[in-house]
A and B are shown apart, each in its own frame.
Chain A
């Protein structure tokens, strides 16, 4: 009876901390059943009584939904901040690998590279500011137990926005670097990106972009979980 209850609860719980919750519930049910057995019940009666006193697994899972959403949003905000910070070494890598530009001034650079670089920089700065704001808000949210249900959705929306901006910046930055390498090759610029170097830049940008999209996915999931503050 207890095993079936725990299986149901495991199935109903979504998000982080599931293992701890189930372990705690199991400890509670086993202890309750043992006490009831000591009081004279048969093992089966004791298990049934312990489970009944605990309440339906649907209610328990719903009670935990806002807690799990809070944890999810906390992790998502940390991942976003880490991804933004990850752009610093990525910029350094590109700067280090790129040879001096073959044009006299930045104004002479091809338009399709200029706007992509400018937009990427603006997006990274915007995402950086947003990520810091989201991180601070998530910390405040975590420290305010009563706010769990009320503030999950605005925070989730902010994380989705930040993650999307960051993912777009990563993609656009990677495309700009690949196109810049192609232009440099056409112009036979000495010491331009090798295929391996280009692959390293694209892989790094992909990791940061995917991390940002992961945070977006988690936040969307946390926002649709029914909450009970």
Chain B
């Protein structure tokens, strides 16, 4: 899928993946692919600017962590991010419900 198709939704998807547990970029990209059954197979580099943007907005925090000899930047959801995710889920339910109602 082209990254443009996810414009406006990528932030919420990333928050939802990280809400499960703190994760580094590679894990997040894989989890996004797995949970969407391969539909969201974005160029993996696409997610990093979004992660940085969400961190700048205070929705994520991150720090370097080393495990199995590998150094990775691990992202976790902040309280502000959790609130944003809840709002985003609610908006999506209302939006997709309305689309469903019109299309079906």
Any A CB within 8 A of the CB of B73: yes
Number of chain A residues whose Cβ lies closer than 8 Å to a Cβ of chain B: 31
Q: What is the predominant secondary structure among interface residues of chain A facing chain B?
A: helix
- Chain A residues lying within 8 Å of B29, measured Cβ to Cβ, are 28
Given contacts A55-B43, A142-B57, A145-B54, whether A64 and B24 have CB atoms under 8 Å apart is: no
- Chain A nearest CB from B36 CB (Å) reads 16
Distance in angstroms between the alpha carbons of A71 and B26 in the assembled complex = 24
- Chain A residues lying within 8 Å of B49, measured Cβ to Cβ, are 60, 63-64, 66-67, 228
Any A CB within 8 A of the CB of B52: yes
Residue of A nearest to B43 (CB): A55
Distance in angstroms between the alpha carbons of A17 and B46 in the assembled complex = 17
Residues of A within 8 A of B (CB): 17, 20-21, 23-25, 27-28, 30-32, 53-57, 59-60, 63-64, 66-67, 70-71, 142-146, 148, 228
- Chain A residues lying within 8 Å of B71, measured Cβ to Cβ, are 23, 27
Residue of B nearest to A67 (CB): B52
Distance in angstroms between the alpha carbons of A67 and B60 in the assembled complex = 15
Nearest 3 A-B pairs (CB), nearest first? A55-B43, A145-B57, A63-B49
Contact digits for B21-49, partner A, Cβ 8 Å, 1 yes 0 no? 00011100100000000000001111011
- Chain A residues lying within 8 Å of B44, measured Cβ to Cβ, are 28, 32, 53-55
Distance in angstroms between the alpha carbons of A193 and B11 in the assembled complex = 60
> Of A31, A55, A60, A148, which contacts B53 at CB under 8 A?
A148
Residue of B nearest to A57 (CB): B45
